[in-house]
């Protein structure tokens, strides 16, 4: 049972570090700082969920962690598209 309590302790530490990242979201001087902090929240959330899944031997939590990471990636891509201010050009068809 020592390993489970160690993993819970590590998950608590990661959660505290992620909570400190919330300060950057609220006070971030720039939108880039805010999006990087959101990435920290996503990655930290995944880390906490994985640690909890291993500690409790509950595999469905891993599925939730993977979905959270996918959503974080889509948010980043959407932000970068919006920040660039340009729409991607559609691919051209050869011969037309």
Instruction: Calculate mean pLDDT across residues 18-35.
Output: 79
**What tokens appear for 28 in the block?**
């971030």
C-alpha separations of 74 from 35, 42, 70, 71 in Å: 12, 11, 6, 5
Q: What 8-state DSSP symbol labels residue 40?
A: H
Which structure tokens are listed for 94? 């050869």
In the predicted model, is pLDDT for residue 96 greater than 70?
A: no
Mean pLDDT for the stretch of residues 14-29:
83
Which residue did the predictor score with more confidence, 28 or 54?
54
Contacts of 38 (CB under 8 A, 6+ apart): 25, 72, 75, 76
Global pTM?
A: 0.71
Longest dimension (CA), the chain: 67
Residue 10 has pLDDT above 90, yes or no: yes
Domain boundaries, the chain: 2-84
pLDDT digits (tens, 9 = 90+) for 33-81: 777 778 888 888 899 999 999 999 888 988 888 898 888 888 878 877 7
């Amino acid at each position: 049972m020592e390993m489970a309590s160690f993993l819970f302790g590590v998950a608590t530490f990661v959660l505290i570090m992620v909570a400190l990242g919330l300060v950057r979201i609220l006070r971030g001087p720039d939108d880039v700082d805010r999006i990087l902090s959101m990435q920290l929240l996503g990655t930290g959330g995944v880390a906490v969920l994985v640690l909890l899944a291993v500690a409790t031997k509950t595999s469905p939590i891993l599925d939730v962690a993977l979905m959270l990471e996918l959503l974080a990636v889509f948010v980043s891509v959407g932000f970068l598209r919006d920040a660039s201010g340009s729409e991607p050009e559609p691919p051209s068809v050869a011969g037309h």
